[in-house]
Amino acid sequence: MTKKEQIYEGKAKTLFSYDDDKIIQYFKDDATAFNKKKHEIIDKKGILNNFISEFIFKYLSDNGVENHFIERLDDREQLVRKVEIIPVEVIIRNIATGTLTKRLGVEEGLKLKKPLIEFTLKSDELDDPILSEEHIEVLEYAKKDEMKSIKEQALIINRLLLDLFSSINILLVDFKIEFGRYGSDNKVILADEISPDSCRLWDKLSSEKLDKDRFRKNLGGLIDAYKEVATRLGIKIQ
Ligand SMILES: Nc1ncnc2c1ncn2[C@@H]1O[C@H](COP(=O)(O)OP(=O)(O)O)[C@@H](O)[C@H]1O
Ligand SMILES: [Mg+2]
């Protein structure tokens, strides 16, 4: 089947139409941070994220977490179920870092007593402001029962990813996921991507950062770090 027209160009991916209920996600090499104030092209980042996200979405569906992934088409493209994205980014934190420490003065590196789920509005114009569940309900970004399902799924995904990364000596510090409504019954399923662009991954022994913080903090070596994650997961990029 041939690719049809571009339907959306995002910061890290482009979407192409495919058929009524599927779309193609194309992974670009663009790296952005601080709401696009920092932007670079990092050769092959898109390829690594495509393969790593494929691996993680397959692992999640093998473990009972339904999601949008259907198949990888080539080194930059994957076929996914078309969903209506819920405009709420879901962040799950195991260790305090980033905006949590900045906003609330929480000690950097603090191990949280249980996973902390945060919600932000998916809006570049507004800089992804934080949302309470009351905002989400009253402003109708998502329904109450959808949020219940999202929170349940987020905790299951966190448990599965903590185990996966722990088995390759990586600490899953936090990550961001997106959900969407799928099919005639509007079932809420995991969509978008899960990759070192959307997770904080620290090597267990050295605490070295193996994620997009290498770009945010100008540490260099982003591609080597992403390759390290892929290699430890046993991914072979042909
Ligand atoms: N299965 C899907 N169906 C429809 N839209 C999706 C799906 N998965 C992800 N998306 C959306 O596609 C876009 C992916 O491109 P990305 O570069 O991440 O965009 P953004 O700059 O908006 O974060 C995102 O807006 C994401 O919400
Ligand atoms: Mg995105």
Ligand 1 pocket residue status of 45, Cβ below 6 Å? no
Q: What's the rounded mean pLDDT across residues 189-213? A: 98
**Parent domain of 218:** 84-222
Chain mean position to CA 101: 20
Distance 150 CA to ligand 2 centre (A): 18
Pair (47, 151) in one structural domain: no
Distance 138 CA to ligand 2 centre (A): 25
Distance between CA atoms of 51 and 231, rounded to whole angstroms? 11
Ligand 1 pocket residue status of 155, Cβ below 6 Å? no
pLDDT at residue 3 tops 70: no
Closest ligand 1 atom, CA of 191?
Answer: 8
Map residue 135 onto helix, strand or coil. Answer: helix
**Tell me, what's the pLDDT at 35?**
84
Per-residue pLDDT tens digits for 112-140: 999 999 999 999 999 999 999 999 999 99
Ligand 1 pocket residue status of 151, Cβ below 6 Å? no
Distance between CA atoms of 34 and 31, rounded to whole angstroms? 11
> Considering every ligand atom, which ligand is closest to the CA of 176?
2
Q: What's the rounded mean pLDDT across residues 39-56? A: 98
Pair (94, 158) in one structural domain: yes
Ligand 1 pocket residue status of 230, Cβ below 6 Å? no
Pair (33, 141) in one structural domain: no
Q: Which amino acid is residue 12, in one-letter code?
A: A
Pair (74, 102) in one structural domain: no
pLDDT at residue 30 tops 80: yes
Ligand 1 pocket residue status of 178, Cβ below 6 Å? yes
Closest ligand 1 atom, CA of 84?
Answer: 4
Q: Which residue is associated with the tokens 């092209």?
A: 41
- DSSP assignment string, 186-224: TEEEEES--STTTEEEEETTT--B-STHHHHTT---HHH
Pair (45, 107) in one structural domain: no
Q: What is the pTM of this model?
A: 0.97
pLDDT at residue 58 tops 90: yes
Q: What confidence tier does 238 reach under pLDDT thresholds 50, 70, 90? A: confident
Q: What's the rounded mean pLDDT across residues 38-63? A: 98
Is 230 among the domain residues?
A: no
CATH number of the domain residue 106 falls in: 3.30.470.20
> Considering every ligand atom, which ligand is closest to the CA of 7?
1
Pair (121, 208) in one structural domain: yes
pLDDT at residue 2 tops 70: no
Q: What's the rounded mean pLDDT across residues 8-15? A: 98
Closest ligand 1 atom, CA of 30?
Answer: 17
**Tell me, what's the pLDDT at 1?**
52
Residue 50: both structure tokens together: 């495509």
Per-residue pLDDT tens digits for 129-183: 999 999 999 999 999 999 999 999 999 999 999 999 999 999 999 999 999 999 9
Residue 108: CB atoms within 10 A of its CB come to 11
Query: Residues 155-171, buried b or exposed e (16+ Cβ, 10 A)?
Result: eebbebbbebbeeeebb
Question: Half-sphere exposure of 18 toward its Cβ, with a 13 Å CA cutoff?
Answer: 18
Is 231 among the domain residues?
A: no
Residue 145: both structure tokens together: 């029962």
Length of the chain in terms of residues written: 238
- Using an 8 Å Cβ cutoff, are 196 and 216 in contact? no
Ligand 1 pocket residue status of 191, Cβ below 6 Å? yes
